[in-house]
Structure 1
Amino acid sequence: MGTRTQSTERSERQLGPLGWFALLGLLSMGGLYALDVTTQGNGVAPTTSLPIGIVAGIGALLLWFGNDPTVRRA
């Protein structure tokens, strides 16, 4: 009945393939939103591309802060 000690050392935050995919979604939808605003919505409506970009950005942040499960550990 010994006690276990857990390491309090935090590993550095990394993004795996899933995190990079979410970050790519943020960048592409952000660019599409900027393009839609400059062309007055001739492509996709800005009210469609902005929420999708926000959700992708939140996903990327959550994967970065929450230890992305797709990161390969050494």
Structure 2
Amino acid sequence: MDDTRKVLLTRFAAEMFVAALLVAIGVLVAYGAAGLGYGWTSSGPDSGYVPFYLGWGIGLAGMGIAISSYLERERYRARVF
């Protein structure tokens, strides 16, 4: 079957959008948790310890998706999403 439809959204664009969204969410979570304190005290971790590092993890996952998508962009350039 010959696919002559116009491509409205490429896989690269969709992956970059999701990556940017994840990075933004990660930054917001880490920033909010930093206000609660993310260090270690004599009684254990501060209240923002886990959310701060989860925010970092979400942001790094988004960056990983962006890098992977950028490196593989030629493979999916002409495909319809």
TM-score by length of structure 2 reads: 0.54
Which residue does the alignment assign to 2:58? Answer: 52
CA contact (8 A) 2:29 2:55 kept: yes
Distance 1:49 1:24, change over 3 A: same
Stretches of 4+ moved more than 2 A in 1?
none
Separation in structure 2 between the aligned mates of residue 65 and residue 27 of structure 1, nearest angstrom:
21
Shift in Å at residue 66 of structure 1? 2.1
Separation in structure 2 between the aligned mates of residue 22 and residue 72 of structure 1, nearest angstrom:
20
1:64 aligns with 2:70: yes
CA contact (8 A) 2:29 2:51 kept: no
Q: How many residues are paired up?
A: 57
Question: What is the letter of the counterpart of residue 34 of structure 1?
Answer: Y
Unaligned runs of 5+ in 1: 1-14
RMSD across aligned C-alpha pairs, in angstroms? 2.5
Separation in structure 2 between the aligned mates of residue 31 and residue 72 of structure 1, nearest angstrom:
34
Question: What is the letter of the counterpart of residue 14 of structure 2?
Answer: P
Identity %: 14
Unaligned runs of 5+ in 2: 1-11, 38-47
Residue of 25, 38, 41 corresponding to 2:35: 38
Structure that is richer in strand per residue: 2
